[in-house]
Chains A and B, each alone.
Chain A
Amino acid sequence: MNNDTDKTMPLAEAVTRFVKTGAHISIGGFTLNRNPMAAVYEIIRQKITGLHLYAHSNGTGLDELVGAGCISRLEIAYGGNGKAAPTCIRFARAIQNNEIQFEDYSNYMMSLRFMAGAMGVPFLPTLSGLGSDMLTTWGFSESMRLSDPKIVDRKLAVVDNPFGNWGGAKKVVAVPAINPDVTIIHVQKADHMGTCRIQGLTFADVEQAKASRHVIVTCEQLVEKAVLRENPDMNQIPFIHVSAVCHVPFGGYPTAVYGHYDYDAQYLKQFAAAARDEAAFTAYQDRFIFGVDSHGQFLEQVGKDRLEAVAADPRTGYSVNMKRD
Protein backbone atom coordinates (compact mmCIF):
# COMPACT_ATOMS: atom_id res chain seq x y z
CA MET A 1 0.00 0.00 0.00
CA ASN A 2 1.29 3.39 -0.99
CA ASN A 3 1.30 5.80 1.89
CA ASP A 4 -0.60 8.35 -0.09
CA THR A 5 -3.26 6.03 -1.48
CA ASP A 6 -6.54 7.88 -1.73
CA LYS A 7 -9.20 5.49 -0.43
CA THR A 8 -12.15 7.79 -0.77
CA MET A 9 -15.11 6.37 -2.66
CA PRO A 10 -18.87 6.67 -2.68
CA LEU A 11 -20.50 4.75 0.17
CA ALA A 12 -22.56 2.57 -2.18
CA GLU A 13 -19.37 1.41 -3.87
CA ALA A 14 -17.62 0.65 -0.56
CA VAL A 15 -20.57 -1.43 0.62
CA THR A 16 -20.78 -3.33 -2.68
CA ARG A 17 -17.06 -4.04 -2.66
CA PHE A 18 -16.55 -5.06 0.96
CA VAL A 19 -19.86 -6.25 2.38
CA LYS A 20 -20.58 -9.50 0.54
CA THR A 21 -23.51 -11.83 1.11
CA GLY A 22 -22.74 -13.99 4.14
CA ALA A 23 -19.84 -11.78 5.30
CA HIS A 24 -18.83 -11.60 8.94
CA ILE A 25 -19.20 -7.96 9.90
CA SER A 26 -19.12 -5.63 12.88
CA ILE A 27 -20.38 -2.09 13.23
CA GLY A 28 -19.02 0.60 15.52
CA GLY A 29 -20.71 2.74 18.12
CA PHE A 30 -22.81 1.85 21.14
CA THR A 31 -26.64 1.66 21.40
CA LEU A 32 -27.67 5.12 20.17
CA ASN A 33 -24.25 6.67 19.66
CA ARG A 34 -22.02 6.84 16.59
CA ASN A 35 -23.56 3.93 14.71
CA PRO A 36 -22.52 3.96 11.02
CA MET A 37 -26.15 4.50 10.05
CA ALA A 38 -25.60 5.67 6.47
CA ALA A 39 -23.74 2.41 5.80
CA VAL A 40 -26.43 0.39 7.61
CA TYR A 41 -29.12 1.91 5.40
CA GLU A 42 -26.98 1.27 2.32
CA ILE A 43 -26.57 -2.41 3.25
CA ILE A 44 -30.34 -2.67 3.60
CA ARG A 45 -30.93 -0.86 0.30
CA GLN A 46 -28.54 -3.23 -1.46
CA LYS A 47 -30.44 -6.15 0.12
CA ILE A 48 -27.28 -7.84 1.36
CA THR A 49 -28.29 -10.87 3.40
CA GLY A 50 -26.88 -13.80 5.33
CA LEU A 51 -24.62 -11.54 7.36
CA HIS A 52 -22.93 -12.73 10.54
CA LEU A 53 -22.87 -9.75 12.92
CA TYR A 54 -20.50 -9.40 15.87
CA ALA A 55 -21.89 -6.90 18.36
CA HIS A 56 -21.14 -5.77 21.89
CA SER A 57 -23.88 -3.29 22.81
CA ASN A 58 -25.59 -2.40 19.58
CA GLY A 59 -28.84 -0.54 19.18
CA THR A 60 -30.16 1.48 16.28
CA GLY A 61 -27.98 -0.07 13.58
CA LEU A 62 -28.56 -3.58 14.88
CA ASP A 63 -32.33 -3.25 14.92
CA GLU A 64 -32.47 -1.80 11.42
CA LEU A 65 -30.28 -4.61 10.04
CA VAL A 66 -32.16 -7.36 11.87
CA GLY A 67 -35.52 -5.80 10.97
CA ALA A 68 -34.56 -5.75 7.30
CA GLY A 69 -33.60 -9.43 7.36
CA CYS A 70 -29.92 -8.82 6.60
CA ILE A 71 -28.63 -10.77 9.62
CA SER A 72 -28.64 -14.57 9.81
CA ARG A 73 -26.33 -15.00 12.76
CA LEU A 74 -25.62 -12.74 15.67
CA GLU A 75 -23.05 -12.81 18.46
CA ILE A 76 -24.03 -10.13 20.92
CA ALA A 77 -23.89 -8.76 24.47
CA TYR A 78 -26.77 -6.29 24.41
CA GLY A 79 -29.51 -5.13 22.08
CA GLY A 80 -31.06 -1.92 23.37
CA ASN A 81 -31.87 1.50 21.99
CA GLY A 82 -32.14 3.82 24.98
CA LYS A 83 -35.47 5.05 26.26
CA ALA A 84 -37.26 4.44 22.95
CA ALA A 85 -36.63 0.69 23.13
CA PRO A 86 -34.82 -0.66 26.24
CA THR A 87 -34.75 -3.96 24.36
CA CYS A 88 -34.39 -3.61 20.59
CA ILE A 89 -37.74 -4.59 19.16
CA ARG A 90 -36.85 -6.37 15.92
CA PHE A 91 -33.93 -8.10 17.67
CA ALA A 92 -36.26 -9.48 20.37
CA ARG A 93 -38.81 -10.56 17.77
CA ALA A 94 -36.25 -12.28 15.59
CA ILE A 95 -35.12 -14.37 18.57
CA GLN A 96 -38.63 -15.05 19.85
CA ASN A 97 -39.72 -16.16 16.37
CA ASN A 98 -36.59 -18.27 15.73
CA GLU A 99 -35.62 -16.15 12.74
CA ILE A 100 -31.92 -15.80 13.52
CA GLN A 101 -29.23 -17.84 15.21
CA PHE A 102 -27.78 -16.00 18.18
CA GLU A 103 -25.10 -16.35 20.82
CA ASP A 104 -24.90 -14.32 24.06
CA TYR A 105 -21.75 -12.88 25.57
CA SER A 106 -21.03 -10.00 27.98
CA ASN A 107 -19.84 -6.60 26.78
CA TYR A 108 -16.41 -7.17 28.20
CA MET A 109 -16.15 -10.60 26.57
CA MET A 110 -17.04 -9.14 23.18
CA SER A 111 -14.62 -6.21 23.58
CA LEU A 112 -11.84 -8.61 24.55
CA ARG A 113 -12.69 -10.84 21.62
CA PHE A 114 -12.13 -7.92 19.24
CA MET A 115 -8.97 -7.02 21.14
CA ALA A 116 -7.68 -10.60 20.81
CA GLY A 117 -8.36 -10.41 17.08
CA ALA A 118 -6.52 -7.10 16.90
CA MET A 119 -3.59 -8.56 18.85
CA GLY A 120 -3.36 -11.74 16.83
CA VAL A 121 -3.78 -14.07 19.82
CA PRO A 122 -6.34 -16.90 19.77
CA PHE A 123 -8.03 -15.81 22.98
CA LEU A 124 -7.79 -13.53 25.98
CA PRO A 125 -8.60 -14.38 29.60
CA THR A 126 -11.12 -12.70 31.88
CA LEU A 127 -13.00 -13.41 35.09
CA SER A 128 -16.24 -12.21 33.49
CA GLY A 129 -18.94 -14.85 33.36
CA LEU A 130 -17.65 -17.55 35.71
CA GLY A 131 -20.74 -19.28 37.12
CA SER A 132 -23.09 -17.77 34.53
CA ASP A 133 -25.28 -19.56 31.98
CA MET A 134 -23.25 -17.90 29.25
CA LEU A 135 -20.60 -20.56 29.83
CA THR A 136 -22.95 -23.51 29.67
CA THR A 137 -25.72 -22.47 27.28
CA TRP A 138 -24.58 -22.22 23.69
CA GLY A 139 -26.79 -20.52 21.13
CA PHE A 140 -24.83 -21.97 18.20
CA SER A 141 -24.96 -25.76 18.23
CA GLU A 142 -21.77 -27.77 18.46
CA SER A 143 -22.36 -29.36 15.05
CA MET A 144 -22.89 -25.97 13.42
CA ARG A 145 -19.68 -24.73 15.02
CA LEU A 146 -17.69 -27.76 13.91
CA SER A 147 -18.97 -27.60 10.34
CA ASP A 148 -18.13 -23.93 9.76
CA PRO A 149 -14.41 -23.10 9.64
CA LYS A 150 -15.15 -19.40 10.18
CA ILE A 151 -16.75 -20.09 13.57
CA VAL A 152 -14.73 -21.14 16.58
CA ASP A 153 -15.47 -24.70 17.79
CA ARG A 154 -16.32 -23.64 21.33
CA LYS A 155 -18.21 -20.61 22.58
CA LEU A 156 -16.04 -20.10 25.67
CA ALA A 157 -13.70 -22.21 27.75
CA VAL A 158 -12.87 -22.16 31.46
CA VAL A 159 -9.19 -22.95 31.91
CA ASP A 160 -6.94 -23.32 34.93
CA ASN A 161 -4.61 -20.42 35.59
CA PRO A 162 -1.27 -21.74 34.25
CA PHE A 163 0.46 -19.60 36.90
CA GLY A 164 -1.26 -21.22 39.87
CA ASN A 165 -3.09 -18.66 41.93
CA TRP A 166 -1.04 -15.76 40.57
CA GLY A 167 -3.23 -12.67 40.30
CA GLY A 168 -5.67 -14.18 42.79
CA ALA A 169 -7.51 -16.37 40.30
CA LYS A 170 -7.38 -20.16 40.04
CA LYS A 171 -9.26 -20.24 36.74
CA VAL A 172 -10.17 -17.87 33.96
CA VAL A 173 -12.63 -17.69 31.11
CA ALA A 174 -10.89 -17.81 27.73
CA VAL A 175 -12.79 -15.76 25.14
CA PRO A 176 -12.01 -16.56 21.50
CA ALA A 177 -10.69 -13.93 19.08
CA ILE A 178 -12.84 -12.36 16.39
CA ASN A 179 -11.53 -11.27 13.00
CA PRO A 180 -14.43 -9.84 11.00
CA ASP A 181 -14.29 -9.66 7.21
CA VAL A 182 -15.26 -6.03 7.49
CA THR A 183 -15.89 -3.48 10.24
CA ILE A 184 -17.77 -0.29 9.54
CA ILE A 185 -17.30 2.74 11.77
CA HIS A 186 -18.46 6.33 11.68
CA VAL A 187 -16.01 8.96 12.94
CA GLN A 188 -15.84 12.72 13.24
CA LYS A 189 -12.72 13.21 11.13
CA ALA A 190 -10.79 11.14 8.61
CA ASP A 191 -8.30 11.91 5.89
CA HIS A 192 -8.20 10.48 2.35
CA MET A 193 -5.95 7.62 3.42
CA GLY A 194 -8.18 6.56 6.29
CA THR A 195 -6.50 7.87 9.42
CA CYS A 196 -9.30 8.51 11.93
CA ARG A 197 -9.98 10.90 14.76
CA ILE A 198 -12.82 9.99 17.09
CA GLN A 199 -14.07 12.60 19.51
CA GLY A 200 -15.63 11.45 22.77
CA LEU A 201 -15.85 7.80 23.75
CA THR A 202 -14.29 5.32 21.35
CA PHE A 203 -16.39 2.39 22.71
CA ALA A 204 -14.76 -0.66 21.05
CA ASP A 205 -14.33 0.91 17.61
CA VAL A 206 -10.54 0.85 17.69
CA GLU A 207 -10.34 -2.85 18.59
CA GLN A 208 -13.07 -3.70 16.09
CA ALA A 209 -11.25 -1.85 13.31
CA LYS A 210 -7.84 -3.34 14.07
CA ALA A 211 -9.26 -6.89 14.23
CA SER A 212 -10.83 -6.62 10.82
CA ARG A 213 -9.69 -7.68 7.35
CA HIS A 214 -11.29 -4.56 5.87
CA VAL A 215 -12.50 -1.35 7.44
CA ILE A 216 -14.98 1.06 5.93
CA VAL A 217 -14.78 4.50 7.54
CA THR A 218 -17.58 6.99 7.10
CA CYS A 219 -16.82 10.47 8.39
CA GLU A 220 -18.49 13.75 9.22
CA GLN A 221 -15.50 15.68 7.97
CA LEU A 222 -13.02 14.61 5.33
CA VAL A 223 -9.89 16.60 6.14
CA GLU A 224 -6.46 17.11 4.67
CA LYS A 225 -3.77 14.79 5.99
CA ALA A 226 -1.95 17.70 7.66
CA VAL A 227 -4.97 18.45 9.85
CA LEU A 228 -4.63 15.05 11.52
CA ARG A 229 -0.84 14.89 11.47
CA GLU A 230 -0.49 18.14 13.40
CA ASN A 231 -1.95 16.44 16.50
CA PRO A 232 -1.33 12.72 16.06
CA ASP A 233 -1.98 12.10 19.78
CA MET A 234 -5.64 12.71 19.04
CA ASN A 235 -5.89 10.06 16.30
CA GLN A 236 -6.88 6.50 17.20
CA ILE A 237 -6.79 4.53 13.95
CA PRO A 238 -3.91 4.91 11.49
CA PHE A 239 -4.64 4.50 7.78
CA ILE A 240 -2.99 1.08 7.45
CA HIS A 241 -6.14 -0.61 8.79
CA VAL A 242 -8.56 1.11 6.46
CA SER A 243 -9.87 0.00 3.05
CA ALA A 244 -12.39 2.69 2.21
CA VAL A 245 -13.15 6.25 3.30
CA CYS A 246 -16.58 7.72 2.60
CA HIS A 247 -17.45 11.31 3.33
CA VAL A 248 -20.99 11.20 4.72
CA PRO A 249 -22.10 14.20 6.79
CA PHE A 250 -24.80 13.14 9.28
CA GLY A 251 -23.68 9.57 8.55
CA GLY A 252 -24.41 8.60 12.15
CA TYR A 253 -27.90 10.12 12.23
CA PRO A 254 -30.31 9.25 13.91
CA THR A 255 -27.66 8.22 16.48
CA ALA A 256 -25.45 10.79 18.21
CA VAL A 257 -22.05 11.98 17.04
CA TYR A 258 -20.34 13.87 19.83
CA GLY A 259 -19.56 17.46 19.03
CA HIS A 260 -21.71 17.35 15.89
CA TYR A 261 -25.26 16.25 16.75
CA ASP A 262 -27.31 14.45 19.35
CA TYR A 263 -29.35 11.31 18.89
CA ASP A 264 -32.80 12.10 17.54
CA ALA A 265 -35.11 10.92 20.31
CA GLN A 266 -38.15 11.56 18.13
CA TYR A 267 -36.82 9.56 15.21
CA LEU A 268 -35.93 6.66 17.51
CA LYS A 269 -39.40 6.78 19.04
CA GLN A 270 -41.00 6.75 15.60
CA PHE A 271 -38.76 3.84 14.60
CA ALA A 272 -39.69 1.91 17.76
CA ALA A 273 -43.40 2.44 17.11
CA ALA A 274 -43.04 1.25 13.51
CA ALA A 275 -40.95 -1.75 14.56
CA ARG A 276 -43.83 -3.08 16.65
CA ASP A 277 -46.21 -3.34 13.70
CA GLU A 278 -45.46 -5.16 10.43
CA ALA A 279 -47.42 -2.85 8.14
CA ALA A 280 -46.05 0.27 9.81
CA PHE A 281 -42.54 -1.14 9.62
CA THR A 282 -42.81 -1.81 5.89
CA ALA A 283 -44.17 1.70 5.37
CA TYR A 284 -41.30 3.09 7.45
CA GLN A 285 -38.70 1.21 5.39
CA ASP A 286 -40.35 2.19 2.12
CA ARG A 287 -40.24 5.83 3.05
CA PHE A 288 -36.84 6.18 4.70
CA ILE A 289 -34.71 3.42 3.18
CA PHE A 290 -36.05 1.98 -0.09
CA GLY A 291 -37.73 5.20 -1.15
CA VAL A 292 -34.42 7.07 -1.27
CA ASP A 293 -31.20 6.30 -3.10
CA SER A 294 -28.65 7.87 -0.79
CA HIS A 295 -28.10 9.19 2.72
CA GLY A 296 -28.48 12.70 1.37
CA GLN A 297 -31.98 11.88 0.17
CA PHE A 298 -32.71 10.17 3.47
CA LEU A 299 -31.80 13.38 5.30
CA GLU A 300 -34.18 15.29 3.01
CA GLN A 301 -36.95 12.90 4.05
CA VAL A 302 -36.04 13.49 7.68
CA GLY A 303 -36.25 17.24 7.20
CA LYS A 304 -34.16 20.22 8.13
CA ASP A 305 -36.03 20.93 11.34
CA ARG A 306 -35.00 17.57 12.83
CA LEU A 307 -31.36 18.09 11.91
CA GLU A 308 -31.46 21.55 13.46
CA ALA A 309 -33.08 20.20 16.63
CA VAL A 310 -30.25 17.71 17.21
CA ALA A 311 -27.38 20.08 16.34
CA ALA A 312 -24.72 19.98 19.06
CA ASP A 313 -24.02 22.90 21.31
CA PRO A 314 -20.30 23.69 20.85
CA ARG A 315 -19.64 23.89 24.62
CA THR A 316 -21.16 20.55 25.68
CA GLY A 317 -21.05 18.54 22.46
CA TYR A 318 -24.75 17.65 22.61
CA SER A 319 -28.06 19.42 22.01
CA VAL A 320 -28.85 21.30 25.23
CA ASN A 321 -32.45 21.12 26.49
CA MET A 322 -33.51 19.01 23.55
CA LYS A 323 -36.91 17.34 23.93
CA ARG A 324 -36.03 13.74 24.69
CA ASP A 325 -39.21 12.02 25.91
Chain B
Amino acid sequence: MKISYTPKEIMTIMAAREIKNGDIVFSGTGISMLAAMAAKKINAPDSVIFFETGAMDSLLEEIPFAVADPRIMYWAAANSSLTDAFATMQNRITGDRVIAILGAAQIDPYGNLNTTCIGDYYSPDVRFSGSGGGCGVASFVPRCIAFMQHEKRKFVNKLDYLTSPGQLTGNGSREAAGLRPGGVSVVVTNLGVMRFDKDTGKMYLDQYYPGTTPEKILENTQFHMDVSQAFQAVPPTENELKILRDNCDPQRLILGPVA
Protein backbone atom coordinates (compact mmCIF):
# COMPACT_ATOMS: atom_id res chain seq x y z
CA MET B 1 0.00 0.00 0.00
CA LYS B 2 1.30 3.43 -0.93
CA ILE B 3 1.65 5.73 2.04
CA SER B 4 0.48 9.28 1.34
CA TYR B 5 1.78 12.38 3.07
CA THR B 6 1.82 16.13 2.53
CA PRO B 7 4.93 18.20 1.61
CA LYS B 8 4.93 19.60 5.16
CA GLU B 9 4.89 16.11 6.61
CA ILE B 10 7.84 14.85 4.56
CA MET B 11 9.80 18.06 5.31
CA THR B 12 9.20 17.64 9.03
CA ILE B 13 10.28 14.00 8.99
CA MET B 14 13.39 14.67 6.87
CA ALA B 15 14.46 17.39 9.32
CA ALA B 16 13.67 15.23 12.34
CA ARG B 17 15.98 12.53 10.96
CA GLU B 18 18.87 15.02 11.08
CA ILE B 19 18.53 15.34 14.85
CA LYS B 20 20.62 12.88 16.84
CA ASN B 21 19.97 11.52 20.29
CA GLY B 22 21.56 13.84 22.84
CA ASP B 23 21.49 16.91 20.59
CA ILE B 24 20.50 20.25 22.04
CA VAL B 25 17.99 21.53 19.49
CA PHE B 26 17.63 25.24 18.93
CA SER B 27 14.10 25.65 17.71
CA GLY B 28 12.11 28.42 16.13
CA THR B 29 8.35 28.19 15.64
CA GLY B 30 6.07 26.49 13.13
CA ILE B 31 7.44 23.56 11.20
CA SER B 32 10.86 23.78 12.88
CA MET B 33 9.29 23.32 16.31
CA LEU B 34 7.32 20.38 14.98
CA ALA B 35 10.49 18.76 13.59
CA ALA B 36 12.18 19.13 16.98
CA MET B 37 9.14 17.61 18.72
CA ALA B 38 8.95 14.76 16.18
CA ALA B 39 12.65 13.91 16.57
CA LYS B 40 12.20 13.72 20.33
CA LYS B 41 9.30 11.31 19.94
CA ILE B 42 10.73 9.21 17.10
CA ASN B 43 14.51 8.97 16.86
CA ALA B 44 16.13 11.21 19.47
CA PRO B 45 14.31 10.75 22.81
CA ASP B 46 17.16 12.31 24.77
CA SER B 47 17.40 15.44 22.66
CA VAL B 48 16.69 18.71 24.42
CA ILE B 49 14.69 21.56 22.88
CA PHE B 50 15.61 25.11 23.72
CA PHE B 51 14.70 28.59 22.62
CA GLU B 52 16.60 31.82 22.06
CA THR B 53 14.41 33.52 24.64
CA GLY B 54 16.04 31.42 27.37
CA ALA B 55 13.78 28.41 28.02
CA MET B 56 15.60 25.07 28.22
CA ASP B 57 13.87 21.67 27.95
CA SER B 58 10.31 22.97 28.30
CA LEU B 59 7.41 20.56 28.56
CA LEU B 60 5.49 21.43 25.40
CA GLU B 61 1.98 20.32 26.28
CA GLU B 62 0.69 22.63 23.56
CA ILE B 63 2.49 23.76 20.41
CA PRO B 64 3.95 27.23 20.93
CA PHE B 65 3.30 29.77 18.15
CA ALA B 66 6.19 32.06 19.02
CA VAL B 67 9.54 31.71 20.77
CA ALA B 68 8.14 34.01 23.45
CA ASP B 69 4.92 31.99 23.76
CA PRO B 70 4.20 31.33 27.46
CA ARG B 71 3.81 27.63 26.46
CA ILE B 72 7.61 27.34 26.40
CA MET B 73 7.91 28.57 29.99
CA TYR B 74 6.08 25.63 31.55
CA TRP B 75 8.12 22.94 33.31
CA ALA B 76 11.42 24.08 31.79
CA ALA B 77 14.74 23.16 33.36
CA ALA B 78 15.40 26.86 33.54
CA ASN B 79 13.75 30.05 32.32
CA SER B 80 16.55 32.52 31.77
CA SER B 81 17.32 35.32 29.34
CA LEU B 82 18.53 36.13 25.83
CA THR B 83 22.12 36.66 26.93
CA ASP B 84 22.07 33.20 28.53
CA ALA B 85 20.50 31.48 25.54
CA PHE B 86 23.01 32.85 23.04
CA ALA B 87 25.88 32.21 25.43
CA THR B 88 24.81 28.55 25.41
CA MET B 89 25.46 28.52 21.68
CA GLN B 90 28.58 30.69 21.67
CA ASN B 91 30.04 28.66 24.55
CA ARG B 92 32.37 26.12 22.94
CA ILE B 93 31.44 23.34 25.35
CA THR B 94 27.67 23.48 25.04
CA GLY B 95 27.60 25.11 21.60
CA ASP B 96 29.12 22.11 19.87
CA ARG B 97 26.13 19.99 20.93
CA VAL B 98 23.59 22.36 19.43
CA ILE B 99 21.75 21.76 16.18
CA ALA B 100 19.63 24.67 15.03
CA ILE B 101 16.63 24.93 12.75
CA LEU B 102 16.28 28.16 10.76
CA GLY B 103 14.15 29.56 7.96
CA ALA B 104 14.84 32.30 5.43
CA ALA B 105 13.47 34.28 2.51
CA GLN B 106 16.58 33.59 0.41
CA ILE B 107 19.51 31.17 0.45
CA ASP B 108 22.60 31.24 -1.77
CA PRO B 109 24.90 28.42 -3.00
CA TYR B 110 27.01 28.71 0.16
CA GLY B 111 24.15 28.45 2.66
CA ASN B 112 24.13 32.12 3.60
CA LEU B 113 20.65 33.32 4.57
CA ASN B 114 18.62 36.46 4.08
CA THR B 115 15.80 37.24 6.52
CA THR B 116 16.04 41.02 6.22
CA CYS B 117 14.72 42.36 2.92
CA ILE B 118 14.09 41.93 -0.79
CA GLY B 119 15.46 44.75 -2.92
CA ASP B 120 17.55 47.69 -1.78
CA TYR B 121 18.28 47.65 1.96
CA TYR B 122 17.39 51.31 2.48
CA SER B 123 14.24 51.26 0.40
CA PRO B 124 13.22 47.61 0.13
CA ASP B 125 10.45 46.12 -1.98
CA VAL B 126 9.67 43.86 0.94
CA ARG B 127 10.98 44.21 4.43
CA PHE B 128 11.11 41.11 6.65
CA SER B 129 11.46 40.75 10.40
CA GLY B 130 15.28 40.89 10.40
CA SER B 131 17.93 38.73 11.99
CA GLY B 132 16.31 38.05 15.34
CA GLY B 133 18.35 35.15 16.65
CA GLY B 134 19.29 33.90 13.18
CA CYS B 135 22.63 35.64 12.71
CA GLY B 136 23.89 34.67 16.15
CA VAL B 137 22.81 31.07 15.70
CA ALA B 138 24.39 30.73 12.23
CA SER B 139 27.55 32.36 13.59
CA PHE B 140 27.92 29.97 16.54
CA VAL B 141 26.39 26.59 15.84
CA PRO B 142 28.17 23.75 14.00
CA ARG B 143 25.04 22.22 12.44
CA CYS B 144 22.00 24.12 11.16
CA ILE B 145 18.98 22.85 9.26
CA ALA B 146 17.43 25.43 6.92
CA PHE B 147 13.77 24.99 6.01
CA MET B 148 12.90 26.51 2.62
CA GLN B 149 10.22 26.39 -0.04
CA HIS B 150 12.08 25.32 -3.15
CA GLU B 151 11.55 28.22 -5.57
CA LYS B 152 13.88 29.98 -7.98
CA ARG B 153 13.36 33.35 -6.28
CA LYS B 154 14.45 31.85 -2.97
CA PHE B 155 17.46 29.78 -4.16
CA VAL B 156 19.44 32.71 -5.56
CA ASN B 157 22.95 33.36 -6.86
CA LYS B 158 23.31 36.42 -4.70
CA LEU B 159 21.37 37.42 -1.60
CA ASP B 160 19.80 40.87 -1.39
CA TYR B 161 21.19 41.02 2.17
CA LEU B 162 23.39 38.56 4.02
CA THR B 163 21.75 38.28 7.44
CA SER B 164 23.12 34.95 8.69
CA PRO B 165 26.50 33.57 7.63
CA GLY B 166 26.92 30.14 6.06
CA GLN B 167 30.10 29.34 4.15
CA LEU B 168 30.27 33.00 2.92
CA THR B 169 32.04 32.62 -0.46
CA GLY B 170 33.22 29.06 0.16
CA ASN B 171 36.73 27.60 0.19
CA GLY B 172 37.37 28.39 3.86
CA SER B 173 36.17 32.01 3.74
CA ARG B 174 33.92 31.42 6.75
CA GLU B 175 36.89 30.57 8.94
CA ALA B 176 38.95 33.37 7.37
CA ALA B 177 36.26 35.84 8.48
CA GLY B 178 36.83 34.68 12.06
CA LEU B 179 33.89 32.31 12.44
CA ARG B 180 34.14 28.77 13.71
CA PRO B 181 33.11 25.98 11.33
CA GLY B 182 29.34 25.74 11.15
CA GLY B 183 26.36 27.54 9.71
CA VAL B 184 23.72 25.89 7.55
CA SER B 185 24.77 22.29 6.93
CA VAL B 186 21.57 20.88 5.47
CA VAL B 187 18.67 22.42 3.56
CA VAL B 188 15.28 20.71 3.70
CA THR B 189 12.72 21.81 1.12
CA ASN B 190 9.43 20.59 -0.29
CA LEU B 191 11.41 18.86 -3.08
CA GLY B 192 14.56 17.45 -1.50
CA VAL B 193 17.52 17.66 0.84
CA MET B 194 20.71 19.60 0.06
CA ARG B 195 24.10 19.54 1.77
CA PHE B 196 27.42 21.37 1.35
CA ASP B 197 30.72 20.19 -0.10
CA LYS B 198 33.37 19.98 2.62
CA ASP B 199 36.06 21.67 0.53
CA THR B 200 34.29 24.16 -1.70
CA GLY B 201 31.42 24.93 0.69
CA LYS B 202 28.97 24.73 -2.23
CA MET B 203 25.49 23.29 -2.03
CA TYR B 204 24.82 19.92 -3.66
CA LEU B 205 21.71 17.79 -4.00
CA ASP B 206 21.76 14.90 -1.56
CA GLN B 207 18.22 13.49 -1.80
CA TYR B 208 15.15 14.09 -3.94
CA TYR B 209 11.70 13.06 -2.80
CA PRO B 210 9.63 10.38 -4.52
CA GLY B 211 7.61 12.10 -7.24
CA THR B 212 10.27 14.65 -8.14
CA THR B 213 13.59 14.53 -10.01
CA PRO B 214 16.99 16.22 -9.79
CA GLU B 215 16.10 18.04 -13.02
CA LYS B 216 12.95 19.48 -11.51
CA ILE B 217 14.91 20.65 -8.49
CA LEU B 218 17.49 22.35 -10.72
CA GLU B 219 14.64 24.08 -12.58
CA ASN B 220 13.63 25.60 -9.26
CA THR B 221 17.14 26.73 -8.33
CA GLN B 222 18.80 29.87 -9.71
CA PHE B 223 22.34 28.52 -9.36
CA HIS B 224 24.01 25.39 -10.62
CA MET B 225 24.11 22.56 -8.14
CA ASP B 226 25.90 19.23 -8.35
CA VAL B 227 23.29 16.48 -8.52
CA SER B 228 25.63 13.59 -9.36
CA GLN B 229 25.50 12.07 -5.86
CA ALA B 230 21.75 12.46 -5.40
CA PHE B 231 19.54 9.55 -4.49
CA GLN B 232 15.82 9.15 -3.90
CA ALA B 233 14.88 9.80 -0.28
CA VAL B 234 13.35 7.07 1.83
CA PRO B 235 9.82 8.40 2.27
CA PRO B 236 8.35 8.85 5.75
CA THR B 237 7.44 5.50 7.26
CA GLU B 238 4.04 4.61 8.62
CA ASN B 239 5.45 4.75 12.14
CA GLU B 240 7.05 8.18 11.65
CA LEU B 241 3.84 9.59 10.23
CA LYS B 242 1.71 8.09 12.97
CA ILE B 243 3.81 9.65 15.71
CA LEU B 244 3.94 12.99 13.89
CA ARG B 245 0.19 13.08 13.33
CA ASP B 246 -1.08 11.56 16.58
CA ASN B 247 1.48 12.68 19.14
CA CYS B 248 3.00 15.90 17.83
CA ASP B 249 0.28 17.90 16.11
CA PRO B 250 -3.06 16.11 16.52
CA GLN B 251 -4.98 19.33 15.84
CA ARG B 252 -2.87 19.88 12.69
CA LEU B 253 -2.20 23.46 13.80
CA ILE B 254 1.07 23.46 11.87
CA LEU B 255 0.68 20.50 9.54
CA GLY B 256 -2.47 21.97 8.01
CA PRO B 257 -5.03 20.04 5.97
CA VAL B 258 -4.56 16.30 5.41
CA ALA B 259 -3.31 15.08 2.03
Contact = CB atoms under 8 A, between A and B. Distances in A.
Interface of A: 29-34, 56-57, 59, 76-80, 82-83, 86-88, 91-92, 95-96, 98, 104-109, 111-112, 115, 126-134, 137, 139, 158, 168-172, 200-204, 206-207, 256, 258, 262-263, 265, 312, 316-318, 320-321, 324-325
Interface in B151-173: 161-165, 168, 173
A92 B128 contact: yes
B74 A30 contact: no
Contacts of B127: 87, 91-92, 95-96
B69 A79 contact: no
Interface stretch (B4-12, B177-185, B216-224, B236-244): B177-185
A104 B120 CA distance: 14
B interface: dominant SS: loop
7 contacts: A32-B69, A33-B69, A78-B132, A82-B69, A83-B66, A170-B178, A312-B70
A263 B66 CA distance: 11
Given A80-B132, A91-B127, A132-B164, 13 more contacts: A34-B68, A78-B131, A82-B29, A98-B122, A107-B82, A108-B86, A128-B90, A132-B131, A170-B178, A172-B178, A256-B70, A263-B66, A320-B61
Contact of A132 (B83, B90, B121, B162): B162
Contacts of B133: 57, 77-78, 106-108
Interface in B178-226: 178-180
B68 A127 contact: no
Given A77-B132, A106-B131, A29 B82 contact: no
Nearest to A173: B178
B68 A111 contact: no
B250 interface: no
A168 B124 CA distance: 37
- 5 pairs of A and B residues whose beta carbons are closest in the complex: A78-B132, A33-B68, A30-B68, A108-B136, A106-B135
A27 to B, nearest CB: 13
A129 B54 contact: no
A106 B136 contact: yes
B131 A105 contact: yes
A318 B61 CA distance: 11
A86 B71 CA distance: 18
Contact of B140 (A33, A128, A139, A170): A128
Contacts of A168: 92, 180
A178 B175 CA distance: 30
B49 interface: no
Contacts of B232: none
A201 B90 contact: no
Interface string B64-90: 011111111110000111110010001
Contacts of B178: 127, 130-131, 158, 169-172
